[in-house]
Amino acid sequence: MLTAVLKKMGDIALGEFKVVIIDRLSRVETKIDHIESYLKEVKADVNQIKHRTGRLESAVTEIQTVLTKNGFSLNQPPVLSPGSPLKLTEVGESLAKRFDGYNFIETNKEFFLVLLEKNNPITGYDVQEMAKKVLEESVSHPIFNPIKKIVYQEGSNIEPVLSVLGIILRDTYLKAHPEI
């Protein structure tokens, strides 16, 4: 009789254990189904992103081609750091030294200050923008020949040099006009 009771208890325990296992397996199966469904959605999203990325790569290549044809280098490190006022970065300072920018502006200060004063800048921002514009408009003047010679020999672009010189000229003008 004891054996029969123990067997019955074992069967009950085993039955309950089976129920627990089946319940847990059912939950795991449900979670796996959810994960599989989610992965299908993710896969669809990834495929969509791949498609868009391909289109973006094509667009960027076209933009690079146009910029390169117009003399812009996409590998040019930034010469100005953002903020107010703009400042030269280490690369900008290096460019200023390589082209003797501080001496160039100092030597030709009167020439550039007269041009800036004709524009009558009112704010520091006006001075900053007009300084670069004055330099861009003066590139054909003989004072730029040494700079253009270096730019030509290096096969580079004068634009970053003008950005650097523009900041130096801005600062020179603002020192001469502290009221701004």
Q: How far lies 17's CA from each of 8, 22, 28, 66, in Å?
A: 14, 8, 16, 72
Domain ranges of the chain: 1-75, 80-176
pLDDT tens-place string over residues 153-164? 988 889 999 999
pLDDT tens-place string over residues 94-152? 999 999 999 999 999 999 999 999 999 999 999 999 999 999 999 999 999 999 999 99
Alpha helices in the chain (DSSP H): 2-69, 90-98, 101-107, 109-119, 124-138, 145-154, 159-176
The pTM for the full model equals 0.60
What is the reported pLDDT for 101?
A: 97
Asked if 156 and 73 count as a contact pair (C-beta separation under 8 A), the reply is yes
pLDDT tens-place string over residues 32-47? 888 888 889 988 888 8
- Greater confidence (80 vs 9) lies with 80
What is the reported pLDDT for 174?
A: 97
Q: How far apart are CA 25 and CA 18, in angstroms?
A: 10
